[in-house]
Chains A and B, each alone.
Chain A
Amino acid sequence: MNALKKAGDATNAFAKKWAEFVIKFKWPVLIFTIIIALGLGSQGNMEFDGDYHVFFSESNPELEAFDALQDKYTKDDNVVIVLSPSNENIFTKENLTAIEELTAETWNTPHSSRVDAVTNFQHTSAQGDDLYVDDLSYESASKTEAEIKIIKEKALKEPLLVNRIINEKGSVTAINITVRLPGKDSAKEIPEVTAFIRKTIADFQEKHPNFQIHSSGLVPLNTAFFESSMRDMMLTLIMLVIVIITTLILTRNFVSTIATFIVVVFSIMSAIGFVGLMGIKLTPPSSVFPTMILTLAVADSIHILITMLQKMRKEGYAKKEALVESIRLNFMPVFITSLTTVIGFLTMNFGDVPPFWDLGNITAFGMTMAFLYSTTALPALMAILPVKTKETKKNVQKASWYTSLGEFVAKQPVRLTIISTIIISGMTYLATKNQFNDEFINYFDETVQFRSDTDYISKNLTGIYNVEFSVGSGESGGINNPEYLQKLNEFENWLNTQPEVIHVNAFSEVARRVNRSMHGDDESFYRVPTNREEAAQYLLLYELSLPFGLDLNNQINVDKSETRVTVTIQNISSSEMIDFSKRAEQWLQDNTPKPMHTIAVSPTLMFSKLGFRQADSMLKGNIIALILISLVLMFALRNFKMGLLSIIPNVTPVFIGFGFWAMYKAQINTGMVIVFGMTLGIIVDDTVHFMSKFLRARRELGYDAKQAVIYAFETVGKALVTTTIVLLAGFAVLSTSSFALNSYMARITVIIILSALIIDFILLPSLLILISKKSEVKTPVKELNTQIQLDK
């Protein structure tokens, strides 16, 4: 048993030697760390990736299914430009001409493969025995009033247009640009498309100020991801200012502030180097790493500096001795906190969402480097720079606040435990009321143009979310089988009756339309053909009549055995989305032959399932984190029972956090799944400090439990409040992000960190007293002492 005590002494001795070594060789140490930081920093290369695909791991089954569908038909990413003329009528000569003009211009969009607008809609009609397929409005400038009236009538009756390209009133219209991104370098391709679209819109706006313009679609979504990464990166600067101010207030020393600043900057430079070396492309979740590292790294420095300055100010140590003493006292706690934090962040690798792997790994690396710099560069700098202090006795007054808090807790441990238990149980119950929701539009708050434009489009024209089905017929050319067409038509009809459905684009509509035109536009023939040869030959005729880019290849596969059904859906929550897709899949199973059974796929659906997938995969990671961190605590406290007890104050803040969240939003997203592992690594800090001081008081000073609690409050109360304030500041900065995966994660972390402090101040000491009391009643003091001896 003494081995552990020896190990403890050994670490003390090691820390002391380390400090002396660093101070002796302050210049070489400093230069060496500068070389490491600059060396790593020079490898830094920050590239951003906005492609929404980054959120899905390669083995993600929803992504695989979606990619398979895109390979079968066409790979479509899109931009929707929505035009609202001020006269609230698309169908005027001027407006149609303007739309036609913009449509022609958008064909020049880089990587575009198709442009759908109201003007170039391929209208099918019969003229005598001829099939006539042509643009709905070609050369609109030459149209007469009467012709425009006919165009309007046709357009507002066209199921393929209404609620997709035009609204029911005919006052708002869309131009849908399909782009086929080569996918070689999304960091270049997406901005290229965006730049073109923005310029085209700006030029159009200038020429036609009577149009209000909004844009959305998958490319703007990618751009919004891209830009929110860069914006969140900028939060680093705000955090840096906060770090400087906080350090200045807490240490009241200019030199210390500079040293802290250098340590955090070195840590971030190293992390940036890591990003470059690993070839990581930054995404919105991973782009917050500098703020994370700043927040977490600054605590290390502050611990070391405050102790050093205290020793100088209050106890009159000389600078060098104060520094050595501070390192001796803080080396182990700082090491333990860094270790647990690194473990917490590394557990993100268990999840199924790659950007969080990056965030976890980059931050873990940054934290490791922060530990190194805090124990090398920081003392070296402090040894080099002149530190002036005046002796003050100001803090004596303040400490009494913590003493009285300690006394307050020591007086009523049972009561406080009961109250805490009730609150925690209530919050835990509430926490189960949260629901997953990964609506990707709501990832962005209303300040982001993508969000406000998309909201406008959802309100005035069509939906942005969709679900797709590749419905098979089981045989080559089978899509012309009347039975298949009939069933497909029934599926289309069923979809149209579903409350969340805005629009359905199915091949059965094409079949009906062509059939009608082949029968002299007779409305009674607006149904699918009943003869296979007829259907096939009509389709051949129709396909021969379509122009460049407006073919059916995006809807029919090469051997005409499957067709694609695209359903536009209202903005509904993830669980409603999953429910809808299951209902549709079930309908196909119940009502169609086997080859037609298929699964729903789409980016929307992929995001809907992302949170569940992440939660499932993170569960294992979280359990491992909990076990590992508890083991670290047992080792650090050199006490098995205490290590076990520490699980309570470490785990309950997360329950409280999610309980609060249930009252606040009740909807959780993928970004929040990681907070358990992450905050566990962070809040453990409080517990370690408090419990180790408690144990020290009992072991070394022979205090009873109540006295030991008060002692712990007096010695670490302030330090805990200080680090909590720094952490809260950091996550508060992050919570201002316009990107919900980051801001929600940060907000709940703020709640968790705050409740961790409260629990460590109220519940933990109460439990410590209660547990000690039990053993005190059972065993005489003498035996207790030996037991503690053994524990050491």
Chain B
Amino acid sequence: MKTLVLIGLSLLSITFLTAQSAEQRGLQIAKAADKADQGFNSSIVHLKMTLKNKNGQTSERLLITKTLEQTADGDKSLIVFNSPKDVKGTSTLTFTHKIGSDDQWLFLPSIKRVKRISSNNKSGPFVGSEFAYEDLSSQEVEKYSYKFLKENGTLLLVEQDPVDPKSGYTRRIVTYNKSKGYRIEKVEFYDRKNSLLKTLTYSNYKLYKGKFWRAGTFTMVNHQSNKETVLKFSEYNFEANLTDEDFTQVALKRAGQ
């Protein structure tokens, strides 16, 4: 009888432990991925965004993205539009925050003014693409709660639930590659009614500075609208040594001119 109780208790504790560790392990993986990418300081990259609708009609936008690594808070980033022609020079400056809403400014060269954007809304499409702003912004660990799902060879599947109630998603399922510095291979997005909305696939990975994996292509497919957006990254530059000075409203204005 005693042994039975003991077995029962140990079984219970195992289930409890595994249940707990699913969340802990998920968080661990996210932290490991975050850590693996630490120390890149800053980067500059050219970006070609191709939007494709159901009929195969396409439209392109060219951007340059500058990123500055932060440790105490979320990363800072600056995006400059080079095309289409009528938005050339328009740039956004974003301060991601680990907790709370991000800060975002937009410089409009036509009126030479910087406007702050209400950042309550991060779930909408980024310049008409299938990427939401929240898909592209810096992935801070604190923005999600985690649950480890399963291990598939070197691939680890983790469910991430956004903390922000205004997020467009109920959850994302992220596939990390353990053997490649915890780089992300695939993300599946589930909408508010918990049905699969989009799949983001990372490909053409390259290793920079022997440590930082960067994908050359992001392919986002919307399963509900059958629209697709492809991001192609080129000319990664980790040697620019950008500083906080390059991520101010003044710098934003300068970047756009």
Contacts and interface: CB of A to CB of B under 8 A. Distances in A.
Interface of A: 71-72, 74-75, 107-113, 122, 129-134, 180, 182, 476-477, 480, 518, 531-538, 540-541, 543-553, 556-560
Contact of B128 (A131, A538, A558): A558
Given A536-B87, A558-B51, A544 B128 contact: no
Given A72-B53, A131-B115, A557-B57, A547 B124 contact: yes
Nearest to A135: B120
Contact of A477 (B86, B90, B104, B111): B86
A129 B114 CA distance: 8
A548 B124 CA distance: 4
A543 B51 CA distance: 15
20 contacts: A107-B192, A129-B113, A130-B116, A477-B84, A518-B115, A531-B110, A534-B111, A537-B90, A544-B124, A546-B125, A548-B132, A548-B168, A548-B192, A551-B124, A553-B128, A557-B53, A558-B52, A558-B57, A558-B59, A560-B59
Given A533-B109, A534-B108, 19 more contacts: A72-B53, A75-B225, A108-B193, A113-B224, A129-B113, A130-B115, A131-B116, A132-B118, A476-B84, A477-B84, A537-B87, A537-B90, A541-B106, A541-B115, A541-B117, A545-B124, A547-B120, A560-B84, A560-B128
A558 B56 CA distance: 10
Contacts of A549: 123, 168
Nearest to B85: A477
B76 to A, nearest CB: 17
Contacts of B193: 107-110, 112
B108 A544 contact: no
Contacts of B53: 71-72, 557-558
B53 to A, nearest CB: 5
Nearest to A126: B115
Contacts of B251: none
A553 B125 CA distance: 9
Contacts of A134: 118, 120-121
Contact of B108 (A74, A537, A558): A537
Contacts of A540: 81, 87, 90, 106, 127
Contacts of A551: 124-125, 128
The 9 closest A-B pairs by CB, nearest first: A548-B168, A548-B123, A559-B59, A536-B86, A533-B110, A546-B124, A130-B116, A547-B121, A534-B110
A144 to B, nearest CB: 20
Contacts of B209: none
A107 B114 CA distance: 35
B117 A544 contact: yes
Which of A112, A132, A553 has most B Cβ within 10 Å?
A553
A519 to B, nearest CB: 10
B121 A180 contact: no
B54 interface: yes
Given A476-B59, A547-B121, A541 B108 contact: yes
Contacts of A558: 51-53, 57-59, 128, 227
A540 B88 CA distance: 11
A552 B128 CA distance: 8
B152 interface: no
B192 A108 contact: yes
Which of B51, B52, B128 has most A Cβ within 10 Å?
B128
A550 B132 CA distance: 12
B55 interface: yes
Contacts of A75: 225
Nearest to A104: B192
B82 interface: no
Contacts of B218: none
B63 to A, nearest CB: 12
Interface of B: 51-55, 57-59, 81, 84-87, 90, 92, 104, 106, 108-111, 113-118, 120-128, 132-133, 166-168, 191-193, 195, 224-225, 227
B233 to A, nearest CB: 21
B57 A545 contact: no
Contacts of A552: 128
Contacts of B227: 558
Contacts of B51: 558-559
A111 B114 CA distance: 39
Contacts of B58: 558-559
A107 B113 CA distance: 37
B208 to A, nearest CB: 29
Which of B55, B84, B85, B121 has most A Cβ within 10 Å?
B121
Nearest to B111: A534
Contacts of B123: 547-549
A559 B118 contact: no
Contact of A547 (B54, B86, B168): B168
A74 B109 CA distance: 31
A92 B225 CA distance: 37
Contacts of A71: 53-55
Nearest to B229: A558
Contacts of A180: 224-225
Contact of A74 (B166, B167, B225): B225
Contacts of A536: 84, 86-87, 110
Contacts of A531: 110
A72 B55 contact: yes
Nearest to A106: B193
Contacts of B116: 129-131
B185 to A, nearest CB: 24
A538 B86 contact: no
Contacts of B57: 72, 557-559
Nearest to A540: B87
A107 B195 CA distance: 11
A540 B83 CA distance: 12
B134 to A, nearest CB: 9
Contacts of B114: 129
B110 A537 contact: yes
Nearest to A109: B193
B58 to A, nearest CB: 7
Contacts of A544: 92, 104, 106, 117, 124, 126-127, 133
A675 to B, nearest CB: 40
A547 B166 contact: yes
Nearest to A533: B110
A539 B109 CA distance: 13
Contacts of B128: 543, 551-553, 556, 558, 560
Contacts of B167: 548
Given A107-B193, A548-B168, A557-B53, A538 B108 contact: yes
Nearest to B83: A477
Contacts of B127: 540, 543-544
Nearest to A537: B108
A129 B121 contact: no
B86 A480 contact: yes
A75 B90 CA distance: 31
Contacts of A547: 120-124, 166, 168
B224 A532 contact: no
Nearest to B54: A71
Contacts of B118: 130-134, 545
Contacts of A556: 128
Contacts of B54: 71
A129 B121 CA distance: 18
B224 to A, nearest CB: 6
A638 B64 CA distance: 89
A107 B123 CA distance: 14
A619 B202 CA distance: 59
Contacts of A532: 86
A536 B84 CA distance: 9
Nearest to A110: B193
Nearest to A115: B192
A534 B108 CA distance: 8
Which of A132, A476, A548, A559 has most B Cβ within 10 Å?
A548
B121 A546 contact: yes
Nearest to A549: B168
Nearest to A196: B193
